[in-house]
Amino acid sequence: MIDLKKLTIEKAHQSLLNGEFTCRELTAAYLEAIDKKNPELNAYLEIFNDALLQADLADKKFKDKTATLLTGIPFAIKDNILIQGNIASAGSKILENYKASYDATVIKDLKKAGVVFLGRTNMDEFAMGSSTQTSAYGVTRNPIDTSRVPGGSSGGSAAALAGDIALAALGTETCGSVREPSAFCGLVGLKPTYGAVSRHGIIAMGNSLDQVSPFGKDVRDTEIIFDLLSRHDEEDSTSVPEDLRKVTNKTNSKKIGVPWHLFSEGVDKEVAENFKESIEKLKKAGYEIVDIEIPYSKYSLAAYYIIMPAEVSTNLARFDGIRYGFSSPGKDLMEVYKSSRAKGFGKEARRRILLGTYVLSHGYYDAYYNKAIKVREKIKAEIMTAFQNVDYILTPTVPMTAFKLGEKMDNPVSMYLCDIFSAPANLSGVPSIALPSGRSTEGLPFSIQFMAPHFREDLLFEIGKKFEEIQ
């Protein structure tokens, strides 16, 4: 009997090398766990019928000694990442029957490494949401407390990993969509530097913000996945060339900046207390904590909720009921467009499309969109300036613990506030890591997050491992 709860990528790899179990046996154990748990969690939308076949191919790699650290590791993949021949619906009815015609670059890289894809995971429709409740295919439940949300939009991947029905998982981030579910489910989530990991083959939400992001049970698992996926990809125009990724500034990585002014209000009392306790632990471990000011960052959420819907409005214009996906008949072309989009998109997707169309419309473009772009540049500049004086910026990951299913559905603004600490990293493109930092009196996970300069994921892994030691 394989103890799935205690497995990490390195432990599983060592066991596979030692012959304690095979890739097929490991995959079969996860498939058995999925059968038991997924009906309640709804983490997976589909289990791939070739999972055991993939495992057999991975076993051959161990036999001929070509196996790598990720060979045979069972992965859960978010439903907006293309896997050739499989449905990629992005959690939406409008793409319910869309089969990917090619592999995303990250999928190609994982296939080359010999991982096993267990299935595609539930998500907020087109990644629009913070709770995995806007999916056209039902809500996903948090494995720690099934009456609560797992976070979003990558909640299915987080629930699969936290529920021990996957050993590793991929999500995507536009604004906290991996870090927030990591916080709610007690996982490690990395939002890489924008352009570090290829976006080729990802169903776009906001092109200037989206980034493929790994989940891990611990920091090392997250690092292993990132190290494989981080490379220049000619298929992705936003992918940063290797020569521009080189880090020249050296640091002793001991100085942490805390922008207290960002969370004077709106943070749950228990979350604030846990954050202060985490700071004390870091001080005892030899880190210097300094107060910093990043005043424009308080406008991050406002800027994000103008830029993102504008990009959503543009990206989702292609789903018109004509070329692929869901189509509703009508007496003429305009009626097909209207009916297909009205029936194919859910409430939250329609809300953001309308908002984005509005801010891009004549007479409002300068008043909203252009102004938000200017604010974004200010935020990026002040964060870069802050990193001249500190090695990290530290905040809570989210202002609250996992909330009850249905609790915030009638109040979208309250739901959007989940992203208040996520937005600065996405708008500025810097990397950020979410780390478990204890449990509430109700047993719900707390989480803190570090930001580091562009392409300094190495610093995030370094401090993340140190924080795990002192926890």
> Residues with Cβ < 8 Å from 321, sequence gap 6 or more?
94, 327, 328, 336, 337, 339, 340, 341, 344
- Separation between Cα atoms, residue 258 and residue 390, nearest integer Å: 10
406-455 pLDDT, tens per residue? 987 777 777 777 889 999 999 999 999 999 999 999 999 999 999 999 99
What is the DSSP code string of 90-102?
TT-GGGTTPBPSS
381, 356, 380: which is closest to 368 by C-alpha? 356
187-222 pLDDT, tens per residue? 999 999 999 999 999 999 999 999 999 999 999 999
Percent of the chain topping pLDDT 90: 92
Average confidence (pLDDT) over 48-62? 98
> Residues with Cβ < 8 Å from 362, sequence gap 6 or more?
none
Helical H segments across 114-234, by residue range: 155-162, 179-185, 219-229
Average confidence (pLDDT) over 81-96? 97
Number of H helices, E strands in the chain: 15, 11
CB 128 within 8 A of CB 134: yes
- Separation between Cα atoms, residue 217 and residue 5, nearest integer Å: 10
Percent helix / strand / coil, the chain, rounded to 5: 45, 15, 40
Strands 168-173, 74-78: pairing kind = parallel
Percent of the chain topping pLDDT 70: 99
**Does pLDDT of 342 surpass 70?**
yes
Q: How many Cβ atoms sit within 10 Å of the Cβ of residue 22?
A: 18
Model pLDDT, residue 250: 60
- Separation between Cα atoms, residue 440 and residue 445, nearest integer Å: 6
106-143 pLDDT, tens per residue? 999 999 999 999 999 999 999 999 999 999 999 999 99
Is 11 among the catalytic positions?
no
3-state SS class at 154:
coil
> Residues with Cβ < 8 Å from 344, sequence gap 6 or more?
92, 93, 94, 319, 321, 325, 326, 328
CB 454 within 8 A of CB 429: yes
Is 99 among the catalytic positions?
no
Measured in degrees and rounded to the nearest 5, phi and psi for residue 101 equal -95, -5
**Does pLDDT of 309 surpass 70?**
yes
Q: Of 143-147, 241-245, 323-327, which gets the smallest average pLDDT?
A: 323-327
41, 51, 206: which is closest to 138 by C-alpha? 41
Structure tokens at 403: 């909330």
Between vectors from CA 68 to CA 25 and to CA 76, what angle results, nearest 5°? 55
Model pLDDT, residue 251: 62
Average pLDDT, the chain: 95
Residue of 153, 213, 230, 432 with catalytic role = 153
CB 25 within 8 A of CB 56: no
Average confidence (pLDDT) over 160-170? 98
> CB burial class (10 A; 0-12, 13-18, 19+) of residue 113?
buried
CB 421 within 8 A of CB 449: yes
**Does pLDDT of 248 surpass 70?**
no
Name all domains of the chain by residue range, CATH numbers in brackets: 1-276+393-471 (3.90.1300.10)
Strands 188-191, 255-258: pairing kind = unpaired
Residue of 135, 154, 177, 300 with catalytic role = 177
Is 208 among the catalytic positions?
no
Residue of 37, 78, 108, 408 with catalytic role = 78
288, 451, 456: which is closest to 380 by C-alpha? 451
Average confidence (pLDDT) over 354-361? 95
**Does pLDDT of 74 surpass 80?**
yes
Residue type, 437: S
257-304 pLDDT, tens per residue? 999 998 867 899 999 999 999 999 999 999 999 999 999 999 999 999
Measured in degrees and rounded to the nearest 5, phi and psi for residue 256 equal -115, 125
Distances in Å between the alpha carbon of 3 and those of 15, 174, 336, 359? 12, 34, 52, 52
